[in-house]
Structure 1
Amino acid sequence: MPPHEDLHTIDGDVYVSPRYLAGSTGTGDPALAPLLGLGWDLQHDDLGNVYVHAPDRRVRLGYLPEGEDDGLWRINAYKDPFGPPTWGACFNDRTPTEFVRAFTTALASAYEQGPDAYLARPVSGDGEHDPFRVVVPFIKQGWEFDRPRWGVFALQSPEGLAGVEFTTGDLDPEAELTTRDARWQLWAGKSIDRPAWYVTASTDTPVALLTAVTQCVSDPTPLLRWQRNTYSYIEGKVQLTPILPPEPPAPTPLDVQRAAASRRPAALPTPSVPRWTTTSRPALSGPRR
């Protein structure tokens, strides 16, 4: 277990289902933990933005609460530390923290395997690197193909409040890294044009990293949240289950014995009465002389 694994556990008073309507937890520590557990360098600026660098500077993460836009998490990888990014991913400020953590956990594992893993390009029909693997978790959970649009492959959740899009054709590499015009886009909310949260990933983002996110998003297990922090856009569309106090354990035979003993009345003390014997003399009548 990485040394930061047990820090800042996520708390709450309700379970939110489906989990992609849960919103952010408001803390970045759980998603930073997998990388910090590998000994990656952490720095921060005077505004409170955090920067994490791999030892060889070929992977960089920015946690940017004071950034220029709502892109709270920006993660880039490089073939050349001084060249342009090979791939980039962005999670906005309301993305559930668990989804970011799924990505950073997969990234930590890929980094330990080496550049062939964390710089692996998607290749159609190439088994584990086939981009189609990214959407398989959604198909297994009943997500449906969205209305066809030219150059866009899309799936939507059963109630229509989440979706994933894959754009075909040539894209501007710089725009993929700085805007939502990226190869991959995952979102939840009323529509893709007005998402509550979104994730973007550029063309060469490794399939294994994206699949880790889609598996986490499609997981039917609810997420723990504080009810006061749930968002208005999910009203009537999400199930909130209060956390009930744990039931007391079943009594053991010894517990039953102790309880019975506590209810048993105490024995009355034996009264002190003089015993009559044959040697006793009858009481004298009249005054003693």
Structure 2
Amino acid sequence: MPHHDHDTIDGDVYVSPRHLASTTGTGDPALAPLLDLGWDLRHDEDSNVYVSAPDRRVRLGYLPEGDDDGLWRINAYKDSFGPPAWGVCFNDRVPTEFVQAFTTVLATAYEQGPDAYLARPVPCLDEHDPFLAVAPLLKQGWEIGRPRWGVFAVQAPDGHAGMEFTTGDLDPETELTTREARWQLWAGTSIDRPVWYATASTDTPIALLTAVTECVADPAPLPRWRQATSSYIKGMAQLTPILLPGPPAPTPLDVQRTVSSRRPPALSAASVARWSTTSRPALPGPRR
């Protein structure tokens, strides 16, 4: 059963809603989709990790020792020596599953070619319509937030997560280096001081954004180690202990064998052991 008295829970737990689960503390699952394609992996003396596509047109930085809390930075380029065509940032508390959802679809898009991983959003144009990225959240009961000038926002039913889309012209450099980007997804008590956030610049392909929002909107809880869960979820998330499976229920054949083993054996001359100084003791039967 779900618990709200978190101090009485120990061990593995499910966290619900999943946007309150925070990071798993390891980047391996999110790096795997790109490394499986044979992308180049390098690291520096500070243990920051850099992954690049073979043509250097998509680059990922996993930066635990970076200059700020932007743990994941992913950029794509039309020209490998030019400015980024789009950029995405996940901070150090984003649930790792959300980043993995992004890199999984990014790997697929890269295999399809530039028309997929550099596809610009186009309003009212089928799969490139920006608001398709919001649809998975609305389907799970997220509501349109208070209208603000130049901003479209949706908010989770519990009020502890939201997504914003800013209209109008934005500075490309600012989008890549601050939270003032076209898209922002966050969790916590307010967008001004979120516990975790993710940003995406103007030309980020909608398919990549939708992969993240579909993962966020998934009603299934996320597994976490209780002692590693963030203190901010206290009183906000539901924690359900993960119980290890018990022994399987006995089948009718198991019951029959058990009953048969309890019946007294029919004694006969052949079944009585004959002991002598030269005979070996009977070997024990198989253990159950």
Aligned to 1:133: 132
Shift of 1:247: 3.6
- Give the 5 Å matches for 1:108-187: 108-187=107-186
- Give the 5 Å matches for 1:40-119: 40-119=39-118
Aligned to 2:252: 253
Shift of 1:50: 0.3
Amino acid paired to 1:254: L
| Structure 1 spans left out of the alignment, 5+ residues | 1-11, 271-289
Count of aligned pairs between the two proteins? 259
The alignment partner of 1:61 has SS state of strand
Aligned to 1:273: none
Cα deviation per residue 1:225-264 (whole Å; 9 max; x = unaligned)? 0011111221122111111121432323331122113333
The alignment partner of 1:155 has SS state of strand
2:225 is aligned with 1:226: yes
- Between the aligned partners of 2:117 and 2:268, the Cα distance in structure 1 is 84
- Between the aligned partners of 1:147 and 1:79, the Cα distance in structure 2 is 37
Aligned to 1:278: none
- TM-score, scaled to structure 1: 0.87
> CA contact under 8 A between 1:89 and 1:177: conserved in structure 2?
yes
> CA contact under 8 A between 1:50 and 1:64: conserved in structure 2?
yes
Q: Which has the larger radius of gyration?
A: 1
> CA contact under 8 A between 1:61 and 1:76: conserved in structure 2?
yes
The alignment partner of 2:45 has SS state of coil
Amino acid paired to 2:132: R
Amino acid paired to 2:244: P
| Structure 2 spans left out of the alignment, 5+ residues | 1-10, 270-288
User: Higher RCO, 1 or 2 (CA under 8 Å, sep at least 6)?
Assistant: 2
- Between the aligned partners of 1:175 and 1:112, the Cα distance in structure 2 is 29
Shift of 1:60: 0.2
> CA contact under 8 A between 1:190 and 1:233: conserved in structure 2?
no
Aligned to 1:3: none
Amino acid paired to 1:209: L
2:228 is aligned with 1:240: no
- TM-score, scaled to structure 2: 0.87
Shift of 1:269: 8.5
Amino acid paired to 1:152: V
2:198 is aligned with 1:194: no
> CA contact under 8 A between 1:87 and 1:202: conserved in structure 2?
yes
Q: CA RMSD in A?
A: 1.4
Cα deviation per residue 1:141-188 (whole Å; 9 max; x = unaligned)? 111111111111000001100000000001110010000000000000
- Between the aligned partners of 1:64 and 1:151, the Cα distance in structure 2 is 32
The alignment partner of 1:216 has SS state of helix
